[in-house]
Structure 1
Amino acid sequence: MGAVTAPPEGPTGSATRPRRRWLPWAVLGLWIAVLAIAMPFGSKLSDSTRDRAIDYLPGSADSTQVAKLVEEMPGGDSLDGILVYQRDGGVTAADRELATEHAGDIAGGYELAGDRAPQVVPSADGSTLMVPFSIVGLADEDAQLETVEKIRDETVADPPEGLSVELGGPAGIQADSDAVYEQVDGTLMYATAGIVTILLIITYRSPFLWLLPLICVGVASMSAMAVVYGLIQAFDLTVSSMSSAMMTVLIFGAGTDYALLLVARYREELRRTPVPLEAMLQAVRRCGPAILASSGTVAAGLVCLVTADLNSTAGLGPVGAVGVLCALAVMLTLLPALLVLFGRRIFWPLIPAYGSEPKRRGFFDRMGTSVGRRPGTILVGGMVLLGALALGTFNLPGNLKQEDAFIDKPESITAMEKLKEAYPEQGAQPIVVVADSDGAQEALATARNVEGIASAEVSRAGNGHTEITVFAADPPQSAGEDRAIKELRAELGALDGTDAAVGGLSAEAMDLAEANSNDRKLIIPLTLAAVLLILIVLLRSLIAPLVLTVAVVASWGAAMGIGGLVFEPVMGFAGIGGELALLTFVFGVALGVDYGIFLLHRMREEALSGADTRTAALTALRRTGGVIASAGVVLAATFAALATMPMVMMFEIGFVIAVGVLLDTFLVRTYLVTSASWLLGRRVWWPGPLAKRTETPPAQPDAEREPEPAGAAAR
């Protein structure tokens, strides 16, 4: 910063009485009113999220229809659980008496499917007892969770010495999953806010400036929660805890990115303009289109998710888009108003004085010089590196099984593992068949004769349908059970008049895998088309958008490859979530394109000001390098906060997106896009008017142009 000091400022932080001095106060008043309206509704969102299995299933799948029919039967959805008793050296007679007593308590205290009392089933090796039960008549999911908690308090909490008692089965797994999801909102919010706060303080090196973006993120978050709550009430939108968590991360990450870009441009304009309000208006005019396009690509990519067959994926689309658009609205209105009202002093101790000059040399100056000297080598080397990293995708594990979904295994999962070991001759997880009551007996007889099915019994009937509980001979989610389910569906589908459908947890897992595969084939091309269209409109070019899109797709592939080298070999994860590829692609490509937008928009601005394309490319890198680096680190860190969650799927999503963002920030946008632009020259703007002008590129890169004054990263 130069020796020139800032002129005296009035109450609005300006040297003179500026035109439209009422504008910041009006914007602030408007957002205070919005926040007052939003808070009562936004606070209700957590109570409106739904995490039932049916809310995560594909809408067209057999297992989804089974789940809906079971809910509509008398007594509603059944609560299926298994009490597991195990003692080293074998269970004793007293242990069997205790298990029989617990079975009697359940029979006497609850309405059971088929009015059948739970039976105590010993294992062949005498080490384990299991008591399967199926409770009906519970009003809703809350009643089911309360019942699970009560059974655990009465049977599991205080077992005799040496005897382990655990509750497994769908009931225990659902309860443990809900307990994890209850931690998501609060834990993730605090972790993300803490990370963003630390990074903003480091970036701005100011004791006060970091507060303004953080306050604005909070306003955007509350506004988005209120809007999503309204969508739930108006359109019965399915919003899961995972969708809510992803929205929180998006608002923090994208909102902070927009704030960093705006503040950096505002700081630049303050050096040229004596009045903060006029400097801010100029900053918004200059960087507003890039921020709008950036948010547009993310929102468009997320809206493409609405076409997904998977309910949870389809619900994430509008939820995420609402979060991004709320962050956009706040950062282009409330944040500018607050910055103007506080004036230049908010930057203390590094106040950008009017007429001062920023530091002339920096890291991104040297980077621009290296790109200008060896663009071809850098481009080829970077693409080879990304390609080599992408080979790691061949090392990705298979689909994640339910038993491997938790980072720290809860009681329900350890119970199922014990059953798998103690009862190798039969499955411990029910397969549910629902058929028309008129053809139920034929469906039952057919199910019993299917290869790989150990047993089948009618559990209850009602509303014209009959529920049949089936057990496979092989363990849950094994290749043998999968074959049995496919054969069962084929045999039942060939029957006339039964209208039988097959569901249950294992069938749901199979349907999820198929739905994810179909969704990828549809949504990935849609996302690419939407992103390309926005880039073409913004940049008035076909070549530049193609360069940028190819580069970010390559970085996504490299990030997935790094995941293949980390998930199983380092973290010990036995599988990857079925939605991992789709969600990381949509988020990774849309968010990665953001930084290319910031770079190429500034590059186009420089070209329109008269610079040749090569000079414009290096100038854009120097002037946006610091702020985009800061934004990339913040965004990557916010998604890395997902790794603090105890679910394998959330860790994997956070890891891949964070790695992809860092690759986009420090390799793709910095080196590859700039190198490609240098090599293409004016052809990068084809077929726009900039591609037709005559240029005389410099003989060597201009290393003396001033860099972007973008906080700590640029310095």
Structure 2
Amino acid sequence: MPTTPRPSPRAARRLVPVLLLLLWLGIGGALGPFAGRLGEVATNDQAAFLPRSAESTEVIDEQRAFRQEETLPAIVVWTADGDGRVTGLRDAADRALASLGGTPGVVGEVSPALLSRDGAALQGVVQLRPDLGDRLPDALDRIRSAAEAVPGTTVRLAGPAASQADLSDAFAGIDGLLLAVALATVLVILLLVYRSLLLPLVIILGAVFALGLACAIVYALADREIVRVDGQVQGILSILVIGAATDYALLLTARYREELALRSDRYLAVRAALRQSWGAVVASAATVALGLLALLLSDLTNNRALGPVGAIGIACAVLSSLTFLPAVLVLLGRAAYWPAKPRPADGRGAGDGVWQRVAELVDRAPRRVWAVALAALLACAAFAPTLASRGVPLDETFVNDAPSVAAQRTLADHFPGGSGNPTVVIANADTVDRVVAAARDTDGVASAAGVTDSGRPGGEPLVVDGRVRIDVTLSFVADSDAAKDTVARLRTALHEVPEADALVGGYTAQRYDTLRTAERDRTLIVPVVLVIIFLILTVLLRSLLMPALLVATVALNFLATLGVSALVFRYVFGFGGTDPSVPLYGFVFLVALGVDYNIFLMSRVREESLRLGVRQGVLRGLVTTGGVITSAGVVLAATFAALGVIPLAFLAQTAFIVAFGVLLDTLVVRSLLVPALVRDAGAVAWWPSRLGVKRPRA
């Protein structure tokens, strides 16, 4: 019976890489456009990212019973041109506001204009639907056009609606701009590292394919409302995939370069490189992915969204690195490094001499090296408690001065800080007088009154199912620390009113609850991430002391980074505080990604120690991985620094913490502290592994 001839081994060696290459080209062509389409399913409505169990979230639910849906206030501020007064312009302002009633996006009747006590400004509040999305700028333009009918005045728009519009503007074009900056930065670094023309382009192409696949998956999940995506998550996903895919590619191509210098068969070289590096790459990816998935324990929706989105990105990055890149390397062979020639990292290369000298220093005086490095890190970490994470005030939310920020300053100059953005109280109707009295007696409260059927405070309050709404105006700017402290005092006072069952919500309460929830998340998630990392390192290194040592060093690196960041944010950037989520994001990224480099180093040290013994294994591992890990650290730091092109304090702070922390980890912790500690401890560092007493093979 005739049989179909099997392809020869040589033909199979070419067939598999060609099929993988065609598969990824198909993925890139079909799914690549999704990297620019996440904005279609992203939302920057901050109300969608409130803590699930917070008191302010309960208030939003109860407000619906009053037929008063959650709104997004836009505050119109009129000031007279020059130094004049606006006392005689109140009627014109009332007419301008009344003309907005019933226009698209406006909720309910528009309240009359209020005159400031100094007579120099007028304000009106227009309640907008919170789900306007892309239509919000049009609604604000209609409000501005109507308000400009008041002669002799300058019109400014403040409040949450104006802030959200400026936030959307900041994220506009995030797909193209951020991606272009990140890819250009990575390409320049890779050209300098490899001195090759083709390989950097191959690595960049693999990262772009991974990003397209990740964005397509996230798009499908967000479109079905399985995950939520906002501009922050969208930007971090792009940076994370590009940085991780490039890091894994650097590790694999460095090992492939070594194998090419030892054997002529490109297929065998790729197979050997894969066999020796896939464990470290997968362990590294698992560390980052599981660390991100720990964010699912958060009570903040945007934190929970980043967890699975980031994990999907990491999975796509490692998939591309272990399939697309090896396939291309098999097809290109030595041509991938042209015009450079593959050389083993044994101290004879131009860049390896530096790491040979570092290894000699570590070998000659390990205790002095780790003592100096440890002292420097501890000195930096001493400033970590000074990092204020009580939130970024509105006037610092944007790196550049935004129109809503200038309007808010003008509003605060002439009206009580909480004007136009009241704190909302829901309480039992038969206790309304006592609740209003308790609210007015609270330090920091300017006024309090029940809300009538028309939706305005003052008069007989509307009663729904035995409950009433009370609007409380604070004396301080709604997003200030003083306002959040006032909300805390207000809750204490109203919770003590007998049988009132009072709930305190509104914009300031939401920010306060977000702050408290972020603190709770850090307390819960940080230990979970450390345990995850320890378990992965234990499996990979088959030791207990070594994982404990590595986890301790990356944790110290994180604290040192926070200490430096506290000084830089305050005295260089001029930030008055940091977003509550910044320390948690910084921890997850920095600790998980910092362990990456220790995984790359110690997996090679373990491999070399099995051949050469523990002492020589540390030195050989440091020399052979020094260049590639430093390059990977520079690439990752540069990609995260690219987040700085988005003019938002949150992303600028996150970018600095991760970029500086990665460089500190790469240049100090992984290069000096860890090798010196392991060299000084000797075989005991690998307890209870038998590695330390294993006789080296020839």
TM-score, normalisation: structure 2 = 0.90
Flag structure 1 segments of 5+ consecutive residues without an equivalent: 1-15, 697-715
Partners of 1:438 and 1:369 in 2: CA distance: 80
Partners of 1:248 and 1:676 in 2: CA distance: 36
1:701 aligned residue: none
**Pairing of 1:160-309 with structure 2 (within 5 A):** 163-234=153-224, 236-309=226-299
Residue type of the alignment partner of 1:680? A
Partners of 2:695 and 2:342 in 1: CA distance: 37
Partners of 1:71 and 1:634 in 2: CA distance: 49
1:401 aligned residue: 393
State which of 407, 416, 421 in structure 2 corresponds to 1:415.
407
Please give the per-residue CA displacement for 1:2-57, whole angstroms capped at 9, x wherever unaligned.
Answer: xxxxxxxxxxxxxx946522110121122234345535766542211122122322
Partners of 1:85 and 1:394 in 2: CA distance: 42
Shift of 1:488: 3.2
Shift of 1:288: 0.8
Residue type of the alignment partner of 1:612? G
**Pairing of 1:345-360 with structure 2 (within 5 A):** 345-352=335-342, 359=349
1:8 aligned residue: none
- Structure 1 residue 600 and structure 2 residue 592: aligned? no
**Pairing of 1:96-115 with structure 2 (within 5 A):** 96=90, 98-107=92-101, 109=103, 115=109
- Structure 1 residue 552 and structure 2 residue 544: aligned? no
Shift of 1:279: 0.8
Which shifted more, 515-524 or 41-50? 41-50
Residue type of the alignment partner of 1:155? A
Residue type of the alignment partner of 1:375? P
Partners of 2:26 and 2:40 in 1: CA distance: 24
Distance 1:73 1:226, change over 3 A: farther
**Pairing of 1:60-209 with structure 2 (within 5 A):** 60-70=53-63, 74=67, 76-87=69-80, 88-92=82-86, 95-96=89-90, 98-107=92-101, 109=103, 115=109, 117-135=110-128, 140-155=132-147, 163-209=153-199
2:531 aligned residue: 529
Secondary structure of 1:166's aligned partner:
strand
Partners of 1:250 and 1:547 in 2: CA distance: 26
Partners of 2:327 and 2:319 in 1: CA distance: 12
Distance 1:495 1:397, change over 3 A: closer
Partners of 2:343 and 2:489 in 1: CA distance: 76
- Contact kept, 8 Å, 2:370 with 2:673, in 1: the verdict is yes
Partners of 2:597 and 2:345 in 1: CA distance: 29
- Contact kept, 8 Å, 2:32 with 2:208, in 1: the verdict is no
Which shifted more, 682-691 or 389-398? 389-398
Distance 1:311 1:99, change over 3 A: same
Partners of 2:284 and 2:389 in 1: CA distance: 34
- Contact kept, 8 Å, 1:81 with 1:169, in 2: the verdict is yes
Partners of 1:581 and 1:354 in 2: CA distance: 40
Shift of 1:674: 0.6
Partners of 1:473 and 1:355 in 2: CA distance: 66
- Contact kept, 8 Å, 1:42 with 1:229, in 2: the verdict is no
Secondary structure of 2:574's aligned partner:
coil
**Pairing of 1:655-674 with structure 2 (within 5 A):** 655-674=656-675
Secondary structure of 2:53's aligned partner:
coil
Partners of 1:533 and 1:435 in 2: CA distance: 49
Identity %: 35
2:318 aligned residue: 328
Partners of 1:554 and 1:652 in 2: CA distance: 19
1:363 aligned residue: 354
Please give the per-residue CA displacement for 1:458-501, whole angstroms capped at 9, x wherever unaligned.
Answer: 16479857544321233324455334423432344456776542
Shift of 1:421: 1.9
Residue type of the alignment partner of 1:685? W
Task: Please tell me the root mean square deviation across aligned C-alpha atoms, in Å.
Answer: 2.9
- Contact kept, 8 Å, 2:416 with 2:474, in 1: the verdict is no
Residue type of the alignment partner of 1:21? R
State which of 390, 398, 420 in structure 1 corresponds to 2:381.
390
2:544 aligned residue: 542
- Contact kept, 8 Å, 1:598 with 1:624, in 2: the verdict is yes
Partners of 1:618 and 1:515 in 2: CA distance: 45
Secondary structure of 2:154's aligned partner:
strand
Residue type of the alignment partner of 1:409? D
Please give the per-residue CA displacement for 1:490-529, whole angstroms capped at 9, x wherever unaligned.
Answer: 3444567765422222111111111011101100000000
Distance 1:18 1:268, change over 3 A: farther
Partners of 2:676 and 2:499 in 1: CA distance: 66
1:32 aligned residue: 25
- Contact kept, 8 Å, 1:90 with 1:126, in 2: the verdict is no
Shift of 1:344: 1.6
1:339 aligned residue: 329
Partners of 1:595 and 1:302 in 2: CA distance: 17
Partners of 1:205 and 1:21 in 2: CA distance: 27
2:458 aligned residue: none
1:433 aligned residue: 425
Please give the per-residue CA displacement for 1:414-468, whole angstroms capped at 9, x wherever unaligned.
Answer: 1111221222586453112345778778766764565543132416479857544
Shift of 1:73: 6.2
Partners of 1:31 and 1:86 in 2: CA distance: 59
Partners of 2:523 and 2:68 in 1: CA distance: 39
Shift of 1:639: 0.8
Partners of 2:198 and 2:482 in 1: CA distance: 62
2:581 aligned residue: 579
- Contact kept, 8 Å, 1:636 with 1:659, in 2: the verdict is yes
Partners of 2:344 and 2:583 in 1: CA distance: 49
Partners of 1:35 and 1:439 in 2: CA distance: 63
Shift of 1:202: 1.2
- Contact kept, 8 Å, 1:420 with 1:428, in 2: the verdict is no
Distance 1:320 1:689, change over 3 A: same
Partners of 1:93 and 1:132 in 2: CA distance: 18
- Contact kept, 8 Å, 2:385 with 2:563, in 1: the verdict is yes
Residue type of the alignment partner of 2:126? F
**Pairing of 1:370-389 with structure 2 (within 5 A):** 370-389=361-380
1:5 aligned residue: none
Residue type of the alignment partner of 2:211? S
Partners of 1:693 and 1:644 in 2: CA distance: 52
Secondary structure of 2:14's aligned partner:
coil
Distance 1:402 1:440, change over 3 A: same
Which shifted more, 344-353 or 458-467? 458-467
Secondary structure of 2:656's aligned partner:
helix
- Contact kept, 8 Å, 1:398 with 1:574, in 2: the verdict is no
Shift of 1:199: 0.9
Partners of 1:41 and 1:486 in 2: CA distance: 44
Please give the per-residue CA displacement for 1:78-102, whole angstroms capped at 9, x wherever unaligned.
Answer: 2312111123413346754543332
- Contact kept, 8 Å, 2:105 with 2:132, in 1: the verdict is no
Residue type of the alignment partner of 1:184? I
Distance 1:639 1:478, change over 3 A: closer
Please give the per-residue CA displacement for 1:79-126, whole angstroms capped at 9, x wherever unaligned.
Answer: 3121111234133467545433322322364687664x4222222223
For these two proteins, the number of residue pairs brought into alignment is 676
Secondary structure of 2:668's aligned partner:
helix
